[in-house]
Amino acid sequence: MKYKSVKDHAELAEQFNRDEARVDWHDKTLWFIREKRDKAAWQIPEWEQLRETASQIKNNVLSNLHSYLLQFEKKAQQNGVTVHWAATPEEHNQIVYSIIKKHSVANIVKSKSMLTEECHLNEYLLKQGIDVVDTDLGERIVQLAGEPPSHIVLPCIHWKKEEIGELFHQHLGTPKGNADPQFLTAAAREHLRQRFMTSKVAITGVNFGVAETGEIIVCTNEGNADLGVQLADVHIGCMGIEKIIPQRKHLGVFLRLLARSATGQPITTYSSHFSKPREKQEMHIVLVDNGRSERLGSDDFRNALKCIRCGACMNTCPVYRRSGGHSYHYAIAGPIGAILAPGLDMKKHADLPFASTLCGSCSHVCPVKIDIHDQLFKWRQVLVQNGNVTSTKNAGMKLMNVVLSNPTIYKLAGSAGRWLMNYLPFIVNNKFNPWYKQREMPKPPEQSFGEWYTRNRKSS
């Protein structure tokens, strides 16, 4: 599902913020998951060592991606898998469609894949007359609602159960007013089982691809990826080229980190290793670049390619929790999305690196130690240098530059500001001041530190 909005993060966040009770609920729900992550991490004494090892393995992958991809391709082919390469989202979509078309199939199932969201596969296939059913419960909910997921691990975290009850009443015919999660999940199970039983092609994402063996690993809690693949004649795994890891034993490191970081679980219910297609089954892997090979050449931004899509940075982010995933208007929301998106289209996503307080919490929870908040800061500099910020922001920063680099102007501006806030508060307490939105302005101090210091030093 594409984002049709032309509004920027601040405007979309403002919309989300109109319902204060809902924002509080959203905030608390995500913080609860962050706390579960903490509890899971604290049970592992070697947690930091795990993060460091994972980070170093991923650094090694980025330095040897060329040979690892070739090794992966060769091994996968030896396993009887067809490997495809797609430079762009369009090419990825065409490859997937050509496989489906070859089998004359009109209905397919797909488990969670952020890559296919990034490539807008569903809309493309829909235009070709292919009906794609997302089988992850959360993804199915947002699909029925005609929305994109708002979170990479928890696609409908912004939906309330009563709303889901109403949605299911309309689409699945469940009784009106029934909002019991147990009941609604059972209804979805029945509904989706029919699709599993009749779909000849199953698409999955890929969590890890092992260069040493050519196998792909897909993790789910629901079992939807497996049920789809094991019943289908054709399995298509869509995989970003950065998902490669060197050896099978490295899965021990990444699978220990992934679910604990994502939801606080010790491991996902299913961690499936697809090595060879079953008898009479076809298996395809589509390797997608879409700007990744270019980003690899950037010293400042290549580390974002280490991401294993756990979503921990979103759950902890004070801005994400209070602005909602859709305010990022990109397939991947939150801090990691804000550093990935501008790499693909700087102009379209120029607002995202500013959707952060730079508190650094994202970098602290990241299981592969991506310097997320540093990259957010670096993106801001690149965006300003390239003229991709609004003229207001640009003018404001130039003004700040003048004020902060000249002590006389700085002192003058400080005392003028304090005087204004004391005697003419309406100058700052109005809707034209963005800082006044959803906040009271602070009481101005009586004097600056400079003034206090001068006075107290003299009196002593």
Name the minimum Å distance from CB 343 to another protein. Answer: 13
Q: Considering the rule CB under 8 A, would residue 106 count as an interface residue with another protein?
A: no
Taken in order 20, 22, 24, 27, the sign of the CA dihedral is negative
Name the minimum Å distance from CB 387 to another protein. Answer: 25
Helix H segments across 176-291?
A: 181-198, 224-231, 251-263
> Binding string to another protein for residues 175 to 214, with x set by CB under 8 A, is what?
------xx-xxx--x--xx--xx-----------------
One residue of 116, 150, 268, 316 binding another protein per CB under 8 A: 268
> Binding string to another protein for residues 51 to 80, with x set by CB under 8 A, is what?
-xx--xx-xx-xxxxx--xx----------
One residue of 2, 19, 32, 402 binding another protein per CB under 8 A: 32
> Binding string to another protein for residues 77 to 96, with x set by CB under 8 A, is what?
--------xxx---x-----
Helix H segments across 43-180?
A: 47-63, 65-78, 89-102, 114-118, 121-127, 137-144, 161-172
| CA 75/CA 397 separation, integer angstroms | 53
Site for another protein in 119-148 (CB under 8 A): 135-138, 141
For residue 150 the two structure tokens come to: 């708002």
Q: Which is nearer to another protein, 44 or 403 (CB)?
A: 44
Q: Which is nearer to another protein, 11 or 162 (CB)?
A: 162
Site for another protein in 239-258 (CB under 8 A): 241, 246, 248-253, 255-256
**Taking a C-beta distance cutoff of 8 angstroms, is the pair 325, 151 a contact?**
yes
Q: Which is nearer to another protein, 45 or 129 (CB)?
A: 45
Helix H segments across 79-131?
A: 89-102, 114-118, 121-127
| CA 345/CA 349 separation, integer angstroms | 6
Q: Considering the rule CB under 8 A, would residue 323 count as an interface residue with another protein?
A: no
Q: Considering the rule CB under 8 A, would residue 98 count as an interface residue with another protein?
A: no
One residue of 263, 361, 363, 388 binding another protein per CB under 8 A: 263
**Taking a C-beta distance cutoff of 8 angstroms, is the pair 317, 328 a contact?**
no
The candidate with the shortest Cα–Cα distance to 112, out of 149, 167, 159, is: 149
For the chain, what is the largest distance between any 2 Cα atoms, rounded to a whole number of angstroms?
Answer: 91
Q: Considering the rule CB under 8 A, would residue 15 count as an interface residue with another protein?
A: no
The amino acid sitting at 57 is I
